[in-house]
Amino acid sequence: MQRDKKVLIANGQGFWGDSILGPVRLVNEGPLDYLTLDYLAEVTMSIMQKLKSRDPSKGYATDFVALVDRVAPQLVAKGIKVVANAGGVNPHACKDAVLATLAKHGFHGVKVAVVEGDDILADLDALMAAGERFENMDTGAPLSTVRDSVTSANVYLGAFPIAEALDQGAQIVITGRGTDPGLVLGPLIHEFGWTRDDHDLIAAGTVAGHIVECGAQCTGGNYTDWRDVPDMARIGYPIIEAAADGSFVVTKHAGTGGMVTVSTVTHQLMYEMGDPHAYITPDGVADFTSFTLEQEGPDRVRVSGVKGAPPTPTYKVSMSYHDGWKAVGQLTVSGPDAVAKAELCAEVVWQRLALDGCEYAEDERMVELVGAGVCHAGIGAPREPEEVVLRMGVKGPDRAKVDRFGPELVPLVTSGPPGVTGFAGGRPKATEIIGYWPALLSKERVHTQVSVFTS
């Protein structure tokens, strides 16, 4: 192990829909060893599963293929390795699309790996028969209460399969569902030879991955003191400069916008933390109270002293299920007396639906007056806005009843109080509600597989 070796790992995508300019600029604007890309969220897996059910060639993050198409020459020329969870529920289809893109550019000999084993949807019944209850981590309810409605089930895999793919010479690694920090931890395990028993080092790599997993959210994006953030249009996406001893620096490319300070990094550290003494991943448990942050220089924050503990015997499983239907629509209501008029509009809609025999329980309907303090209700003095956006919605198990709501919203333009507009979106229609079911699964039930293909 080279004690003075430094590895540069950047994350250019915080979610599916993040700006393509993030990874493009990371590749073009400075040195880099690894580019990681995080596309997946809980509901994303269910969406991808539905896409795959309609078309067997779908079910992955197509944005990733578009990115490879755009930066393939630079990736090959600079030898930058890419780790992305873009595979979704169909990593081989994603791999095929990437290989086709590389061939289009005339690149041959580029190794592309696929990590599998996270998708357990087809195995749920057998696993339940073997004794796995998949109890909801929030409510304690067994999965059997919603089993017939489950649309996706994916294990959060760890970082070691990613390291295995890199050990086999892959330049591009495509995974399905895994932990967000694992995208960064995997390359560190590969580069420095860390083992499963190196608990402090595994924890350090986990903290590094957590800091950058949301992209620019640690370099000034979504930051409380947003007025202090320079040149947000050109905000630099984060880079981890890592050493073999587990210490690392959070930074960004020189000359880019945004900023890296102890405060911006701390903001991201607090994101989705849970118990700060025990941030649990399949690879280990990190103590977020153990380490120190130090401003080493402009846009350089050093992190050191991370402590960790052995991993738990279970994987977390993210499942989605059909949970009914919803319809949401909105209109703009202008002043004077915008709030009073919007409140009347809402009451008119409910009364007209009732006249037609269609009523909804309190927990099945929603009214929001955007512009009248709905985002931070109860904070600050109330005021009379010049206009508000009236958002109304309903939900329930009966799709026809949910659909009945939509036709009564737009008529308010001519049969409600004055000043109602903004109806260009048309009638809201029923859409599926995706429920989230978090659970645990014994690790011995899961088997990962790494396959490497050459362009």
Structural domains of the chain, count: 2
Q: Does residue 416 belong to any structural domain of this protein?
A: yes
Look at residue 319 and tell me whether its pLDDT is greater than 90. yes
Q: In terms of pLDDT, which residue wins out, 54 or 360?
A: 360
Q: How far is the CA of 356 from the CAs of 6, 219, 298, 406, in angstroms?
A: 69, 54, 65, 13
Q: Does residue 94 belong to any structural domain of this protein?
A: yes
342 and 304 within one domain = no
337 and 232 within one domain = no
Q: Does residue 252 belong to any structural domain of this protein?
A: yes
Give the pLDDT band (50/70/90) at residue 97. Answer: very high
172 and 77 within one domain = yes
- Looking at residue 135, its pLDDT comes to 97
Where in the sequence is the domain holding 402, given as residue range(s)? 320-437
Nearest to 435 by CA among 322, 318, 317, 326: 322
- Looking at residue 185, its pLDDT comes to 98
Give the pLDDT band (50/70/90) at residue 373. Answer: confident
pLDDT in tens, 174-206: 999 999 999 999 999 999 999 999 999 999 999
Q: Does residue 344 belong to any structural domain of this protein?
A: yes
Nearest to 272 by CA among 188, 206, 320, 205: 206
- Looking at residue 422, its pLDDT comes to 87
pLDDT in tens, 414-455: 999 999 998 877 899 999 998 999 999 999 999 999 999 998
- Looking at residue 190, its pLDDT comes to 98
In this structure, what are the phi and psi dihedrals at residue 399, rounded to the nearest 5 degrees? -60, -40
Q: Does residue 404 belong to any structural domain of this protein?
A: yes
Show which of 290, 312, 334 is a domain's final residue: 312
The helix-helix angle for 262-269 and 199-212 (nearest 10°) equals 100
Helices (H), 130-243: 160-167, 182-192, 199-212
- Rounded CA-CA distance 434/411 in Å is 29
- Rounded CA-CA distance 230/449 in Å is 44
| CA pseudo-torsion sign 437, 439, 444, 448 | positive
- Rounded CA-CA distance 103/133 in Å is 46
Question: Would you state the structure tokens that stand for residue 228, as one six-digit string?
Answer: 């202090």
Give the pLDDT band (50/70/90) at residue 411. Answer: very high
Give the pLDDT band (50/70/90) at residue 354. Answer: very high
333 and 305 within one domain = no
If phi over 0 gives left and psi between -120 and 50 gives alpha, with beta otherwise, what is residue 80?
A: beta
- Looking at residue 22, its pLDDT comes to 95
396 and 372 within one domain = yes
Residue with tokens 């929603």: 366
Nearest to 244 by CA among 308, 167, 192: 192
Write the DSSP assignment of 63-120 as a string of letters: HHHHHHHHHHHHHHHHT-EEEE-TTTT-HHHHHHHHHHHHHHTT--S-EEEEEE--B-
Q: Are 38 and 11 in contact (CB under 8 A)?
A: yes
- Looking at residue 424, its pLDDT comes to 76
Please count the residues of the chain: 455
Q: Report the chain's mean pLDDT, rounded to a whole number.
A: 94
Q: Are 418 and 372 in contact (CB under 8 A)?
A: no
376 and 276 within one domain = no
Torsion of Cα atoms, 318 then 319 then 323 then 329, to 10°: 50
> What is the DSSP pairing of strand 172-175 with strand 420-421?
unpaired
Look at residue 42 and tell me whether its pLDDT is greater than 80. no
164 and 68 within one domain = yes
- Looking at residue 3, its pLDDT comes to 67
380 and 280 within one domain = no
Give the pLDDT band (50/70/90) at residue 47. Answer: confident
304 and 416 within one domain = no
- Looking at residue 393, its pLDDT comes to 97
What is the rounded average pLDDT of the residues 310-315? 97
- Rounded CA-CA distance 303/308 in Å is 14
- Looking at residue 273, its pLDDT comes to 85
Portion of the chain with pLDDT greater than 90, in percent:
88
Q: 201 in helix, strand or coil?
A: helix
Residue with tokens 């490879």: 68
337 and 246 within one domain = no
Give the pLDDT band (50/70/90) at residue 150. Answer: very high
- Rounded CA-CA distance 51/61 in Å is 11
186 and 222 within one domain = yes
Nearest to 240 by CA among 270, 271, 266, 265: 265
Look at residue 1 and tell me whether its pLDDT is greater than 70. no
Nearest to 85 by CA among 116, 43, 49, 47: 116
Q: What is the CATH number of the domain that holds 353?
A: 3.30.70
User: How crowded is the C-beta side of 237, counted as CA atoms within 13 Å?
Assistant: 29
370 and 292 within one domain = no
